[in-house]
Structure 1
Amino acid sequence: MAVLQFFPPSSPVVSAKLHAVVLFNICDCYVRRPDQADRVIGTLLGSVSDGVIEIKNSYAVPHNESADQVALDVDYHRNMYLSHLKVNPKEVLVGWFSTGFGVSGGSALIHEFYVKELKEAQSSIPPIHLTVDTGFKNGEASIKGYVSSNLSLGDRPLAAQFQEIPLDLRMIEAERVGFDILKTTVVDKLPNDLEGMEASMERLHSLLDEIYKYVGDVVEGRVAPDNDIGRFLADTLASVPRMSPAAFDKVFNDKIQDNLALVYLSSLVKTQLGIAEKLNTAAQIL
């Protein structure tokens, strides 16, 4: 008779502590992900003490994902890890993260890769798998940590079972404020320079309308004057340089051209770096 056996990790992890900078970095990587990517996968760095994993840093790892397989850029991961060790040797590999709600179908394959990476680094801890729901459903972020346990039938291993562990999100007051704002500010993508400038100009136009209405109400006697607001408006107007509309249009248009040139050059550099990285990866494979 076959017996279904469940083997707990050889070195159990009691809990994990997550620093807020890691969460912000994961969310930033998700917003800046390629258009065709549904989620972001990356490496977690930190330290281990008394069965508690403290997650202090992270970086995203490029990957290709389909319905039945996941391919990580292993060379990128290892180069980034070596670079981090040169900067801070105390932050070692402790696991990996992915965006989305809970454990997905390909999580076991990626988790097995990080198990091998930790074994090669002669680490006795099991890697932690951190999931971050970047959709912030119902205004709440689902952030969970898992460790893997072996599930076997007799002597034959069947699969890896993920077991949730307590996760402590460590935040100071300033980080807590930023996290609350992050939960209420959900965007599909970051605006480009022109979209950001358009939104700023619309906001400025609405503020000018409010100021114009307030001044008109004070002059007509509908609103009691406020000396503090009056002094603030006077200082603001005094700080604006006097120039003709034609001169202002010229300065504004010149600034727009400078911004467009910077956007074009940065896009060109990004494209060249991407091509160089792909050529380097292809050369290493060959």
Structure 2
Amino acid sequence: MPGVPDKVVLHPLVLLSVVDHYNRVAKDTKKRVIGVLLGETYKGQVDVTNSFAVPFEEDDKDPSIWFLDHSYLEIMFRMFKKVNAREHVIGWYSTGPRLREADLSMHALMANYCSNPVLVICEVEPKEVGLPFTAYTAIDEVREDGTEKSRQIFITIPTEVGQTEAEEIGVEHLLRNVKDATISTLASDVSAKLQALKGLKGRLGDVQEYLGAVLEGRLPVNNDIMTYLQDIFNLLPNMNVEALSTSLAVKGNDMMAAIYLASLIRSTLALHKLIDNKEARMWAEKERADKAKAAADKAAKAEKDKAADGKEGAAADKDQDKQADGAAKPTSNGNA
């Protein structure tokens, strides 16, 4: 289809901005937030590199009544344009978590700022494993019999998460700060495998639902999807071969044993560091106590020496007074 993007690549900064916007404005409510997506389009790929929030209100009872601040949008875009001239308005985002009746009219409004806008619905509280966002674009649907005039509908676009080298370094730095090195990775590995299996189960359920709808005639046969499914089945290993199943089991057990051993070694090293830290702290406290005791003894000795010097001075003054009194008395002799 002409004008329809082949893929939408969302950068981590955009996801963080959308979640922050939702937490500030609509957390613990049924409202949604809306903003503008910035980026560039090259060879059918839409790179969403930045975004900003836009004031938005809608009537809960009548979805056709809504308000979006155009002036704020234009002022913010002019300021972002001064920072990065390569970023253009490429669409808008919503926290849905699904499409609504007023989305087509808002999409038409966004078409005033870019030729073919995309809509990205982000799930700030995802309940399923997978990417927490879905991209859409609007196309004109025309009935073949010509009974109705053309109308716009949303179609989905393939999505993925992409990042530049600078963003990758920043995300890795944040994850490094979050990760606790004292915690074993065995539990995290098992949790990751469990989440992956849940995601696989969900995808297989979607495939089963689609094939069931095709068999019942509710959906037409899509040859591209059937080709992909056939490729998947061709790539699956034949688990009926005993040698293959045995080798996979041995390989899995070896990996689990290596992970378990590494976790034990890490726990032992952590305990060793804890004991070394405690011993170093005890020696430091003992050294401080010895220094404090030496300083107190030195102060007491100085005070004692000072008191002794004061007594000797007082005795010397007393002797001088006696000598002075003896010299002042008149001597008695025969001439008195």
**% of aligned pairs identical?**
24
Q: Are positions 1:46 and 2:36 aligned together?
A: no
Q: Are positions 1:33 and 2:28 aligned together?
A: no
Aligned to 2:119: 129
SS at match of 1:105: coil
SS at match of 1:85: helix
| Residue among 12, 21, 27 paired with 2:4 | 12
Q: Of Structure 1 and Structure 2, which has the larger fraction of its residues in helix? A: 2
| Residue among 69, 83, 95 paired with 2:79 | 83
**Displacement, 1:168?**
1.6
2:283 and 2:74 map into 1 onto residues whose CA distance is 58
Which structure has more relative contact order (CA 8 Å, sep 6+)? It is 1
Map 1:155-174; keep pairs closer than 5 Å.
157-171=149-163, 172=168
* Count of aligned positions: 183
Query: Structure 2 counterpart of 1:32, which letter?
Result: R
Q: Which has the larger radius of gyration?
A: 2
Aligned to 1:151: 141
Map 1:66-145; keep pairs closer than 5 Å.
66=59, 67-69=62-64, 70-118=66-114, 123=115, 126-138=116-128, 140-145=130-135
Deviations 1:115-155 (A, max 9, x none): 1222xxxx4xx111101001121465521111111124549
51-60 or 28-37, which deviates more? 28-37
SS at match of 1:12: coil
Q: Of Structure 1 and Structure 2, which has the larger fraction of its residues in strand? A: 1
Say if 1:150 and 1:157, in contact at 8 Å, map to a contact too: no
Change (3 A) 1:233 1:128: farther
2:37 and 2:56 map into 1 onto residues whose CA distance is 16
SS at match of 1:117: coil
TM-score, normalised to structure 2, is 0.48
Q: Are positions 1:227 and 2:219 aligned together?
A: no
TM-score, normalised to structure 1, is 0.55
Change (3 A) 1:234 1:12: farther
Gaps in structure 1 of 5+ consecutive residues: 1-7, 182-224, 239-286
Gaps in structure 2 of 5+ consecutive residues: 179-273, 288-336
2:43 and 2:69 map into 1 onto residues whose CA distance is 32
Q: Are positions 1:65 and 2:55 aligned together?
A: no
